[in-house]
A = this chain, B = another copy of it.
Amino acid sequence: MFSQTSEYALRAVVWLATEAEGPVGVQWIAEGTQVPESYLSKVLQQLSQAGLVISRRGVGGGHELSRPPNEITILEVINCVDPIKRITSCPLSLKSHSKKRCGMHSKLDEALQNIEAIFSQSTIDDVVNNPNCPPPLKEVRRGSRQRRN
């Protein structure tokens, strides 16, 4: 249901939120999140284009979150890479459904609306510091925090 890209984007943001103390090279994030480096580079590019991650090349560069984890929602991360597309109009372009969707598409959209609500009310900080769950990614061998670009 949720794409591989969404999963990887969330891992990257969670890792940056918990493990990075400054700009970090993609190699370390890939190692810490178990995401192939080339795939992760594209995901980070999308997150950067959306303004959620600051990416700088060269010496002293790397990737870091643009905002603190308690100001980033799960919905924002997912919408950066694989947006939840609400069904706001009839996919069949039926004229008689132009003002009101049919029962089938209303029900599908109800589920999407529900997902949006759950994810918009949950920040990266919430999932990282959920007292009822083990912290995400923690067992993965951490990449050194040393910069490597």
Contact = CB atoms under 8 A, between A and B. Distances in A.
A31 to B, nearest CB: 12
A138 B96 contact: yes
A133 B74 contact: no
The copy count of this chain in the complex is 2
B1 A134 contact: no
Interface stretch (A43-51, A54-62, A121-129): A121-129
Contacts of A126: 103, 107
Interface of A: 1-2, 7, 10-11, 14, 34, 74, 84-85, 91-92, 94-97, 100-108, 110-112, 114-115, 118-119, 122, 126-130, 132-140
Given A11-B104, A94-B138, A102-B136, 9 more contacts: A14-B104, A74-B108, A103-B132, A104-B127, A106-B130, A106-B132, A107-B130, A111-B114, A111-B119
